[in-house]
Homo-oligomer: A and B are copies of this chain.
Amino acid sequence: MTRPSAAAPKPAWTDPDCPVARTLDLVGDRWSLLVIRDAMDGARSFTEFQRRTGVARNILSDRLRRLIAHGVLAQETAPSGRRLQYVLTDAGRDLFPVLLTMRQWGERHAFEPGEPRSTLVDEHGARVPDLKPTGADGAPIDAGTTHVRKTEDGSSPELAEVEAPQ
């Protein structure tokens, strides 16, 4: 009797309490994140995503559908005419820090010196500086100075007042 009642066909979340695990469930695969990367860099059409990422077309089709279902992308008709296009939602654009930190880790640890690579630059053409995590007091933090606290409900420890106005 490992299943007292009807089976659970959808675990829904790998780890329901952990925001990291939920993010991974929603967008945490190679092709989804590469699609989002290219959407942030201006890609809009199916073919453009396919060309930039090199993903198989059926997989791309699935990922676009999934990202739309999860509210990361939206499908709309192009202003110029009848062609459809995929654009990032607010939630999709909000993945920018994730892609940025991945990019910066890759630059630091996945290239040999001198290897060719693409870089992210701001409007003035200057390289985007490394993102440094800091605590509430502004001091640098890392894995050694933080830990995960399990909370019983949505109330935030110490700073419960901030509400997402989005």
Which residues from chain A sit less than 8 Å from chain B, CB to CB? 14-26, 28-30, 33-34, 37, 39-42, 53-54, 71, 88, 91, 93-111, 113-129, 131-137, 141-154, 156-159, 161, 163-164, 166
Given A115-B154, A125-B158, A148-B118: A110 and B37 interface contact (C-beta under 8 Å): no
Chain B residue contacts of A141, Cβ below 8 A: 122, 128
Given A94-B109, A131-B133: A30 and B30 interface contact (C-beta under 8 Å): no
Question: When the two chains form their complex, are residues B30 and A28 in contact, meaning their CB atoms are under 8 A apart?
Answer: yes
Question: When the two chains form their complex, are residues A133 and B23 in contact, meaning their CB atoms are under 8 A apart?
Answer: no
Number of copies of this protein chain within its complex: 2
**A110 interface neighbour in B23, B54, B134, Cβ under 8 Å:** B23
Question: When the two chains form their complex, are residues B126 and A135 in contact, meaning their CB atoms are under 8 A apart?
Answer: yes
**A149 interface neighbour in B40, B113, B119, Cβ under 8 Å:** B119
Question: When the two chains form their complex, are residues A71 and B109 in contact, meaning their CB atoms are under 8 A apart?
Answer: yes
